[in-house]
Chains A and B, each alone.
Chain A
Amino acid sequence: MATEFEELGAVPSFTVTLFVRRYNPEDGQEARWQDFDVQVHGTDRVLDALHKIKWEMDGSLTFRRSCAHGVCGSDAMRINGRNRLACKTLIKDLDITQPIFVEPIKGLEVEKDLVVDMNPFYQAYRDIKPFLIASDKPEKERLQSAADHAKFEDTTKCILCAACTTSCPVFWTDGQYFGPAAIVNAHRFIFDSRDEAAEVRIDILNDKEGVWRCRTTFNCTEACPRGIEVTKAIAEVKQAILRGKP
C-alpha cells in the first residue's frame, strides 16, 4: 500500500546525459567536453542538474548562479547551442533522448568551466551611462505619464545576464561592438521623459562600434530570457540617432 501512495505522489524521474564544457586554466589542457549521467525529476531545470553534478559527482565544476530563479542573471549559458538561463530551462522541455550540451556563453573569455570574464560586457554597459541624468535636485517625485513610461517599459526588464550580447555574431567577431545589452540599457534612458542626457547617449552610440554594427539578425531577441524585444529597441535607438533626439 505504502509504495502505491509513493508512486501516486511521485514526480517522474529519468536519467539524462549532460555534456559540459570543462576548462581549467591551471591544468594546461584545452577546453573539453565531459559527460555526466544525472538522475533528474520532471520538474528539474538545467541548473538543478548542474547542482547535482557539483554537489554529488564532481565538486570542481564551476559555474555562476545566485538567485536561481531567473532574476539575477548570473547563470546565462549556452544550452544545446542556444543562450538561456540554466535556472529557467526545464530539462523536460529539451530533447532528453539526446545528450544536453552545456557550454559557456560565447564571445567573452572563459575563466573556468562555465564562468566567463564579464568585464568587457559591463564596461560597454558603463559606457552608455546607465543612470538618470537630470539637472533639477531630487526634492520631489519626478512624475511621468503612463504613455511616456510605456515607451521604454520593455527595456527596463533587462537583468544584464549577457545572453543577448553573447548571442550576437557581430559581438563574436572582435568584442568591440557595444552589444545589444548596452544598447537596450541606453534605450531605457534615452526614451525616459525624466532623463535629460539622451543626446549624450545618442552621441556615444553613434560610434564606429555603436548601433550601426547591428545587422538585425534577431539572435538577441531570441536569446533574451526576459522576452525583451531587443532588436526593436536597437532599431528605435537608430531612429533616435537619425532624428538627433528621442
Chain B
Amino acid sequence: MSVVIEQPRSPRSRKAANWEKYGWMYMRASGAILVILIFGHLFTNLWVGEGIHAIDFAFVGGKWSNPFWQVWDGLMLWLALIHGTNGMRTIVNDYTSREGVRKALTFALWGICAVLIVLGTLVIFTFDPCPANGLAANLPSFCPAR
C-alpha cells in the first residue's frame, strides 16, 4: 500500500498587482530621464549665451511661450515630484512602526505631491507674462500694454 504525501507548502496564490516592482522600475527610468532633463535645464539656463545673467522674468516668460520648453519643464516637474515623493514614501516605510502613522504620512506625501503637480502644470502651460486685464504699471517692460 502506498501512502500519498501532500506537497509540502503548496505555492502561494498569486497576489494582486505588486506596486513595489513598478515603483522600483519607475525610480530607475525616471532617474535616467531626469539626469538628461536636469542637466539640459542647467545648461540652457546657466551656460548658454550670457549664462546666469540672462535669467530674469523675460527669460522665463520667453521659455514658457515655447511649447518645447513647456513640455521639457512639465516632464521635469512630473517626473521629479513623483520620484521624490516615492523616495520619501520609502523612507516613511522604513522609519514608521505604527501603521496609522505610516498611512497618514504616505497620504500627506501624495496629497502634497498632487497639489504641487497641479499648480506647477497650470503655471507652465497657462503662463502669460502680459495678461490682458493686468494693471499696466505692474506689467513687465516688454509688454505692449505698457
Contacts and interface: CB of A to CB of B under 8 A. Distances in A.
A212 B21 contact: yes
A86 to B, nearest CB: 30
B138 interface: no
A208 B20 contact: yes
A203 B14 contact: yes
Given A203-B14, A204-B12, A212 B97 contact: no
B18 A207 contact: yes
Interface in B40-88: none
Task: Determine which residue in A129, A203, A210, A242 has the highest number of CB atoms from chain B within 10 A of its CB, and name it.
Answer: A203
A206 B94 contact: no
Interface residues of A, number: 18
Contacts of A207: 15, 18, 20
Nearest to B22: A212
Contact of A212 (B11, B15, B23): B23
Interface string A175-203: 00000000000000000000001001001
B25 A242 contact: yes
B12 A170 contact: no
A173 B25 CA distance: 23
Interface string B86-102: 00001000110100000
A173 B18 contact: no
Contacts, number: 32
A174 B95 CA distance: 8
B50 to A, nearest CB: 41
Given A129-B9, A242-B25, A212 B20 contact: yes
B24 interface: yes
Interface residues of B, number: 15
A170 B20 contact: no
A238 interface: yes
Contact of B11 (A174, A203, A208): A203
B12 A203 contact: yes
A206 B18 contact: yes
A90 interface: no
Interface in A108-165: 129
B24 A200 contact: no
Given A208-B20, A212-B20, A242-B25, A170 B14 contact: no
A38 interface: no
A241 interface: yes
A170 B94 contact: yes
Contacts of B95: 173
Contacts of B94: 170, 173-174
Nearest to B97: A174
Contacts of B21: 206, 212, 241-242
Interface of A: 129, 170, 173-174, 197, 200, 203-204, 206-208, 210, 212-213, 215, 238, 241-242
27 contacts: A129-B9, A173-B94, A173-B95, A174-B94, A174-B97, A197-B11, A200-B11, A203-B11, A204-B12, A206-B18, A206-B20, A206-B21, A207-B15, A207-B18, A207-B20, A208-B18, A208-B20, A210-B20, A212-B20, A212-B21, A212-B23, A212-B24, A213-B20, A215-B90, A238-B24, A242-B21, A242-B25
Given A173-B95, A242-B25, 18 more contacts: A174-B97, A197-B11, A200-B11, A200-B12, A203-B11, A203-B14, A206-B20, A206-B21, A207-B15, A207-B18, A207-B20, A208-B18, A212-B20, A212-B24, A215-B90, A238-B24, A241-B21, A242-B21
